[in-house]
Chain A
Amino acid sequence: MLSATDLAALMTAMAAFIGALMTVAVRSAKKEKKGAPSDPLATPEAIQTATLRHEMEQELEGVHRKLGSIDRDVRTTLSLVDKCLTHLQIIERRLK
């Protein structure tokens, strides 16, 4: 028979152990998340879908970055063209 103190000590030790085990598991899962995604949950189909999704998301991010860069270039060019036009108008007025 276990005394109440022994029982409380056992319960505490058990709770601490389960807590530590779950902390390790959560940390490990978070580390996995930083790399290629392991499956959301279990089935091979789900793993395949998640991997494909991750790859597509990365590709989309790349395309998005490139589009952003093109957008900046176009804006700069348009601003330069605008300045050129202003200068041309000034020159035109002076020539008249």
Chain B
Amino acid sequence: MSLMRRRTHDRRLEWWFASQTLAFGLFLTHPAASMDSTAFIQLLLWMPENWWGGAFTLTGGLHITALWINGRRWWTPYIRSTTTIANLVAYFFFLVGFWLLDRHTTAVATYGALCVAACICLYGAAKDAVHARDGIQKGGRSAECH
């Protein structure tokens, strides 16, 4: 438990965001039709619901893995940034769908908050990527060698 707390302490929001994305993905992969609102028409034209679920599960899982390894490998901030960008874009299109349908629905606030959280996580991950690059230049491909 203390190991978990120690690992999540510095990036609580990012851990929450990654876990939420993974849970959201697993929820969407469930056979029940969750994306049956007209707000999802555009998104379902691109991919069926279970594919969206798979995509969120994959990005959420990758994000958690990168956060878990974080600090021991130089590439983790890049994975964190990439998965966060992918999720930010996806949540943004979810937000747009609901905004066009009814801008006063609670989903606009919910997906809007998720977009804000993604922006904060992306900001942190991009900063870490710079520090990791600096670490590589100084020698050593893991942060412990930094």
Contacts and interface: CB of A to CB of B under 8 A. Distances in A.
Contacts of A30: 130
State the majority secondary structure of interface residues on A. Answer: helix
B42 A1 contact: yes
Interface string A51-64: 00100000000000
State the majority secondary structure of interface residues on B. Answer: helix
Interface stretch (B18-26, B55-63, B118-126): B118-126
Interface residues of B, number: 35
Contact of B88 (A18, A25, A37, A38): A18
Interface range, A side? 20 to 34
A19 B126 CA distance: 11
A33 B134 CA distance: 9
B126 A22 contact: yes
Nearest to B100: A2
Contact of B70 (A18, A42, A44, A50): A42
